[in-house]
Amino acid sequence: MPATSELTTPHPSRISLLTGIRLTFTSGPVAGKKMVVQSTSTGGDLGSNHFDLNIPGGGVGIFDGCSPQFGGLGGQRYGGVSSRSECDSFPAALKPGCYWRFDWFQNADNPNFSFRQVQCPAELVARTGCKRNDDGNFPAASAPGGGNSNPTTTAKPSSTSAAVTSSKPSSSSAPSTGGGSCTAQKWAQCGGNGFTGCTTCVAGSTCKVSNEWYSQCL
């Protein structure tokens, strides 16, 4: 995804592995939305000014580590699946991330965004088990939000590539406010900051909060 760095962001050559990064999307259906990620790998297979988000169902790419771990996955090698329903055939561990791509991320296709280095949230540190020694030197990451916030002003173009991981689900179960007159199917999103869809889960499943911006019927 094409990116620009914010004025307070270090030069891309100093953004390295395990860095916490706040993304503010500036184009496409996710314009105005924010998310915080942690860089977990680098690679030279992309062009300049790009980040790589590792999303289940987004395609295994040039370095396929998913097939050896999970077996054959549906969708194209580059681009992955094209509809939310195709996520149903994925292994249970990958379904939430695949559904997230079509729910919160709205199947955005390489949106532009600005980025800023921040402290890596505890949810991501718990998932990766890694944290930079200088993490405390950067501003704390505010909770990412929905599509109503204004994108941050951007400046100097970057030239870095990074792959990122998703945040760790929690075990709480209070859904966010939203549409209560419809029913969300199992594995579907049922709440989160800015979410306006169904908040009542189908019988046999419960709306579980993954974080402040995403809840899911499990």
Confidence of residue 33 (pLDDT cuts 50, 70, 90): very high
Q: What is the pLDDT of residue 45?
A: 64
pTM attached to this predicted model = 0.59
Over pLDDT 90: what percentage of the chain? 16
Amino acid at residue number 135 = D
SS3 labels along the chain:
CEEEECCCCCCHHHCCCCCEEEEEECCHHHCCCEEEEEEEECCCCCCCCECEECCCCCCCCCCCCHHHHHCCCCCECCCECCCHHHHHHCCCCCHHHHHHHHCCCCCCCCCCEEEEEECCCHHHHHHHCCCCCCHHHCCCCCCCCCCCCCCCCCCCECCCCCEECCCCCCCCCCCCCCEEEEEECCCCEEECCCCCCEEEECCCCCEEEEECCEEEEC
> How would you classify the pairing of strands 113-118 and 3-5?
parallel
Q: What is the mean pLDDT of residues 85-111?
A: 91
Confidence of residue 143 (pLDDT cuts 50, 70, 90): low
Q: What is the pLDDT of residue 155?
A: 29
Q: What is the mean pLDDT of residues 27-54?
A: 81
Q: What is the mean pLDDT of residues 5-15?
A: 42
